[in-house]
Every structure is written in structure tokens, then in C-alpha cells.
Structure 1
Amino acid sequence: MQRHGTPTHKGGAAQEPPARQLSFPLVAAPLRVKDHGLKAAHVRPYVARIRDKGRRAGQMWSGRVPCTHAWAYQWINLQDAGATWATLTYDCDNRRTMEGGLADLPPWNWRVETERGAHLTWCLADPVGRLEAHRPGPQRMLSRASEYFHHALDADPAFNGLGRNPTHELAETTWGAERPYYLDALCDVIPFRWKRPRIAQTAIGRQVTLWETALLWAGSECNAGLSVLAMLHTINADVAEAHGKDAMPPHVLADIAQRVERYRAGWMVK
């Protein structure tokens, strides 16, 4: 007798139900990274690999793939978890400076060796929201920690978060601290008199700087009625061209502009 709800082939044999697609991306992450602090992941992580076939063999391909496939790739961006930042990840090419900087920083959660140094990752116990609806306070704290860690490690300013996959078979990974870090623990190591660079060196720092700049700009009477979004696009392009930083994507600028416009509307009511 056929059990109700179980599809069968014509011959009467029970057919296996299709595999359910994972709806929560962290479920797809390997147990090793979750045991070492990873608390959030992107539904479609940004990944990369070296092509091994065809005319483009030996060239790098990059793009977004489903979270169920992402961990098979040699490079993966774990810092960007969609609506949140999940890690602080750095590409350190100066091994001597890196080792010196690590003496003053909390133990990393994992480290993947590279040709000239290492990719270092600290996981966040409470991933920090990066969109319009999230609180600016934690964003500022994370930005300060991100910039200081970058300074202490003399990390690559062009690094966009696409690091070595620590669970890939070719990765030379050393696993460190098992617990993730709260923001206060990361900020506690920053010297009291240390000042952030005028031009942010990390993607997290650049996004928060754009938010603060837009807020000051919108508060000026001479800019009343002018578009915050247009101003952000101008600054974004100027910084990217002059300092070689990756431009913030349009949706991030739109989120910042929307938040600033909400503040501006409140000022006008008062």
C-alpha cells in the first residue's frame, strides 16, 4: 500500500523526496568555523576560484553562489553576511609587522597562511548591522576597531574581505580562539589617544565615515533641499579615484542616504 503523500514511480517504488534547500545560511557552514566563533553568513556569499578548464584556465573567477555551494571554493568573503558584518578579516602581507601587531591584539579565531603573510579573522559575537535600520553606535565601535586592527597589522588597504577559505583542502589553516568577540573586547585594546586615519582604510570604516560625513553635510543650512544621495555618490567616486579604495556599492549609499534623510526630516519638524 502506498503511504499517503509519498510519490512513486510507475513501477510502484517509492521516490525519494527532493532535498530541502537550506533557508538559514549559517546551517550550511562547516562545523569547524562555527566552533570557532562564526555567528552569521550570507545567503549567497561572494567567492572565488582558479579556473582549471577551457581557454581561461589559470584565471580567477569570482561571484556569488548559494550558501550550500560556497564552502567548496578556495576564497570566500565571510566578513559580509548580508545585513550584518560577521567578522574582521585582514590580508597581511608584511609578516614581521603582522607578528609584532598581533602581540597587542586579542587572539584570532583562525589564521590562513599566504605566500607573503596570512589572512587573519576575528569573529563577532553579535554581528553588527550595516543597513539603514541598524543603530549607528555599534557601527562606530566596529569601525574604530576595524581601523585600529588594520593599522596594528599593517594590512592591505585594498583588501575587500575575500579571504582564503579556512576549511578548503588547500588552506594552511591554524585554528585559534573558539569564542567570538564582543565589541567592547575588541575596542579595549585600542590606545586612548589613537586617532583614526582621515581616509578610512577598511570597507567597514569607509561606510561609517560616509554616514558621519553625510549627517554633517545634511545639517548645514546651505545644503537644505539638496540630495544626500547625490552628495554621497560624489564623495564615494572622489575617494575611490584619489586613494585607490573600492567604491561603496550603490545599495549601501542608498541605505545611508535614507537614514540621513530621516534625521533631516526630524530636524525640520523641530
Structure 2
Amino acid sequence: MSLGKEQKQIQYQSRLGVEILQGCSLTDITEQQRDELKKSLWQHGVVVVKQQNLIASELEEFAKKTFGNLMFGGSNILDPDISPDLQSQYINILGNPKKETEPLEKFAWKWHQDKDGLPRTEGLDMNALYVVMLYAVKVPKEDINGQPHSTQFIDLIEAYKNLDIERQQQLEKIFLCHKAPSFIKEAVDTPNKVHPIVSTHKITNKKGLYLGIDTTIPVGMENNLEGAKNFMEDLFQTVFNSTPIYSHVWQEGDVIFWDNSQIMHRGIPYDAKKYKRIALRLGVVDE
């Protein structure tokens, strides 16, 4: 969901975006360092490891060793026009690797929580410990506003804490219907999953919001789509009016991790006719 000019921009010291494992390569870390990475991720919501030099298969192997085998996607067909170093079974390439003028990740330029595999996977809650990794191979010089290329994040645990007591109590009674994203080919046949707006984190036990994306529908409003839309827009606006935004400014070699169960994010548009962007994305549920 894009709130445009109404969105509140505040500079603040966020718990999000902490740099970890300085001077380490993800291809050669100890089990203790893997545990420290996950501990930092649950604590901070968004962490970054800088100055990496990886190929796609190495990122995938790191994910398996660190989080487990429950990864979404799979069976990706290799594109002969793209370097094999950028391709692997579970890796998705975002950007314009073949100089496309319509970036592949354009759908992610509105606020959302990634949930590509969660509605489709039996037995997984919507607030499962779904970790998304994004590795910057090629970074545009600037976004369409002339600012450094970035991805924005908002802390949904802080968002809940910043609500007044009456709003917290109201939201704790409401459940949302979550659908698979429309870009997933089997989305139409995937049953909705119902999940409370107020969610308790599985590790920290802190309460936060789980909003999904702007097509999410409150339970009981399935036949009142206009009312559902207005409800969600009002809730999003309330969150953005009370919760500052963290912007991660990308550098090539960054690997950023976020805990989807407590973070909402969006990419910032860039001029794909002018700049090339290549980012490798991988999502995995911590087992």
C-alpha cells in the first residue's frame, strides 16, 4: 500500500538494520556465529551482513545450514541469458538483470509483508518465522527521487506499542483473511488462511501487528470490500502516523535479512532505463 505524501518521515534511532558478523564471509562461519545471527535477527527484526562476495548456490547453501530446508520456490529453470552464478533452485532474481525497462520487483514497491509461500503451506501460521534474504549484486546509483537506492522497513512490534490502549484492544478482537499473492499462479485455488491482526512473536513473545498486504480482508467483511479497503487504509495510515520508518541504503555486497513476522517493507522505485539492479532473493522458514 502506498500512502504517498501523507506518509510520515521521521529520523530516529531504530532497532532495525543492525550490522552483524563484521569481516566474516557467510560461506565460512561457525555454528556459534549462525546462532548469533538468528538471535540478532529475532531481537532486531532487520540485520545486515556487509561486503559479501557470493554466488546464488552459496547463498542457498548458507540458508539451508542456518535455517533449515523449508524454502519456498524451487525448481527454477535456468535462464541461458543470465550468468549461472546468479541462479539457483530457490533463488529469485529481482531487478532488471537483462536490462529490462520494467523491473521484475515492481509489485514490491508498495508496503507489504512477504507471504508468498505461507498461505499455500499446510501447518504454517501466517506469522511463522519466515526469513527473507536479499543480496545486492548490482545497485542503482539513485532512486527516482535522486536519493540513494534503499529499501524501507517499519517495525510492527513498535507500531502496536505506539497505539493507544483502546485501539490495541479493538484490534486484538479482529482476524484477517490472507490470500496467496496474485502473482502466484495457483493463488486462485489456495484457501485463505485466517490470522489475528495482533500476533505474538514465536521467539520473543512480544506482541505486534500482522497486516500482510493491502488486499487482506478482515473476517466478517468479505462481502463489504469497500468497507474492508477503508478499514485497512485507516489502519495503515494510523501505523505510519505513529511509527517511524527505517531506510536501508544499499551497497553492493550487502545481504539484508528480515523477520517477516514482525516487519513490513517496501522497495523504492528507480529508473530501470537508466540503471541496472540485480538482487538475489531467498525466503526460508526457520525450523
Structure 2 length normalisation: TM-score? 0.26
Higher helix share: 1
Structure 1 length normalisation: TM-score? 0.28
Higher relative contact order (CA 8 A, sep 6+): 2
